[in-house]
Structure 1
Amino acid sequence: MSAGYATLISAAELDRHLGTPGWVIVDCRHDLANPAFGRDAYAREHLPGAVHLHLDDDLSGPRSGRNGRHPLPDPALLAARLGACGIANDSQVVAYDDAGGMYAARLWWLLRWLGHERVAVLDGGYQAWCAATKVLDSTPARPPAAHFSPRVCAGLAVDADYVAAHLDDEAMVLIDARSPDRFRGENESLDPVGGRIPGACNRFFRDNLDASGRFLPAAQLRTDFTALLGGRPPAAVVNQCGSGVTACHNLLAMEIAGLPGARLYAGSWSEWCADPARPLVSG
């Protein structure tokens, strides 16, 4: 079987595949400040045949207060939820949101983590779809259940202990996807402590997008991320953000750029700052 779509898909391409057996469209819309937003938006209207997965309830695990705002879900539970949505190991999955891919990229990475390559993010998201086709649905999708067997790629993620052990290691490139002000420790509205992990460099995830909300060309992304690498291989990169969500956007951008092999620190700043013994810097 071919790899299918493994990074991005355009609205025009997706439109040509609507109704294709084995294709599953997933609505990942969310609002960090209003957790009910995604479900409400899905109920009003969504792409034809799309199912909805919720960032907090489906794409994250239980929070302990010390493991970050969006810890990784249990692989078996996530696999069962994917199967309930009609996703099998040979499905072509397309994820979308209305926020430049910041939530859809989380599902893209989680499926990669579970060993599933045939997953793409709708480039330009909900807005691009509406501009291209206007075809929407308000009926909740109820696809036949499928079986999804996870093959966890443990090497795609690192934990806080790994990051702490490599803070002074020039071989690790820690890239923070948060906005520049939050990276500096200013205007922190989501976590109780402002600042960043020592040694991190900043690549705001929205810098991966053009003015229309679509991803920049692969060559431009490659130039940008190569500058951050400083001659080190992509496998040296650990991507993080506030809670392991927008870091996946940078991981997707690196994949588009032809720089695969980077890893995710899923706990990210929200986990890191929960332990006062861990060092931090600001400014």
Structure 2
Amino acid sequence: MNTTLISASELAARIDDPALVIVDCRHDLMNLAAGREGYAVGHIRNAVFADMETALSGAKTGADGQFRGRHPLPERAALIETLRAWGIDDDSQVVAYDAHGGMFAARLWWLLRWVGHPAVAVLDGGLAAWQSQALPMTADVPAPRRGAIAERAPLVATVTAGDVLANIGSGERTLIDARAPDRFRGENETIDPVGGHIPGAKNRFFKDNLQADGRFKDAAQLKAEFAPLVADPASAVMQCGSGVTACHNLLALEVAGMPGAALYPGSWSEWVADPSRPVAKGV
């Protein structure tokens, strides 16, 4: 069972395993059609496509009328139905990939763990690692096969905006923001019209988890880099702009042997929707 990362070579060797389900998670926040268009041009054989805006996210406004962020979690029942439509069973080994260093694939990795499915891994290095070995691509869409995955207890934890607000006063949890440093400091108004970060948060840009070739750094290096930020993973919370790239830091912590951190799904986009919540600037 692969529960964090899988190499391109290992995936290629297992490509015809009937228990394997491959999911293409390519996406572009500036061009929402780019992922599906890329999949149509060519993808790893047998891969199904996951749309970030519909399959991997839920309604932006909750039943209470409150804004939940740009990419709120889908309803668990809806997610289970999506996973079944992709052919995922309880014994499936799922592999997620993208073309962005795992930026979006890590979201599916986390979501599967959220519904209690541990056998999910991200393709290390993504599509670039696959293509660097001249491994085959196809435009053929696999025939649909309905799976029977069951919903189980979560293997991961979440916190609410209320929890994060309370923590500003208590300081019991360490909050890590995965956004780029300029966004964290409040210097990129194009992406974050309300700039800055949650008071007390620390910054760990998700791309810092990667080597120059787009593969994850090894466990020892990741642990050494996270240790000064996260003394106790069980009391840490990961967030970002909308709850997507925070999952990359959660995956990196798992690779580092530092499991247990929680996700704040609404993240910055939900946080600043309420002007009464405090905002900090700079470092």
Aligning the two structures, in what range does the TM-score lie when normalised by the shorter sequence?
over 0.9
Counterpart CA distance in 1 for 2:251 and 2:82 is 23
Which amino acid is the alignment partner of residue 169 of structure 1? Answer: S
- DSSP 3-state at the match of 1:168: helix
* Cα shift at 1:169: 2.4
Unaligned ranges ≥5, structure 1: none
Q: Say whether 1:259 aligns with 2:271.
A: no
- Write out per-residue CA displacement over residues 227-275 of structure 1, whole angstroms, 9 at most, x where no aligned residue: 102xx31111100000000000000000000000000000000000000
SS in 1 for 2:228: helix
What is the correspondence of 1:67-146 to structure 2 with a 5 Å cutoff?
Answer: 67-146=68-147
Map of 1:59 onto structure 2? 56
SS at match of 2:43: coil
Q: Deviations over 1:116-164 (max 9, x none)?
A: 1000000000000011133001011223111121114286111101111
CA distance in 2, matches of 1:93, 1:226: 29
TM-score, normalization: structure 1?
A: 0.96
What is the aligned counterpart of 2:31 among 31, 34, 39?
Answer: 34
Residues in 1 aligned to 2:120 and 2:280: alpha-carbon distance in whole angstroms: 36
What one-letter code is carried by the residue in structure 1 that aligns with 2:180?
A: S
Amino acid at match of 2:254: E
1:16 correspondence with 2:17: no
CA distance in 1, matches of 2:155, 2:6: 26
Structure 2 residue matching 1:238: 3-state secondary structure: strand
CA contact (8 A) 1:157 1:266 kept: yes
Is 1:49 aligned with 2:46?
A: yes
Q: Alignment RMSD, CA only?
A: 1.1
Number of equivalences: 278
Moved over 2 A (4+): 168-171, 188-192
Work out the CA distance in 2 between the residues paired with 1:151 and 1:237. 24
Aligned mates of 2:4, 2:268 — CA distance in 1: 26
Q: Which residue of structure 2 lines up, in the alignment, with residue 161 of structure 1?
A: 162
Equivalent pair of 1:27/1:52 in contact (CA under 8 Å): yes
**What is the TM-score when the length of structure 2 is the normalising length?**
0.96
Q: Secondary structure at the match of 1:178?
A: coil
Alpha-carbon distance in structure 1 between the residues aligned to 2:200 and 2:172: 12
Q: 2: CA distance between counterparts of 1:247 and 1:141? A: 31
Deviations 1:5-56 (A, max 9, x none): 0000000000000110110000000000000001000011000010000111
SS of 1:88's equivalent in the other structure is coil
Q: CA deviation at 1:193?
A: 1.0
Question: Counterpart amino acid of 2:216?
Answer: F
Matched with 1:268 is 267
Identity in percent: 56
In structure 2, C-alpha distance between the alignment counterparts of 1:56 and 1:150, rounded to whole Å? 22
- 3-state SS, counterpart of residue 36 of structure 2: helix
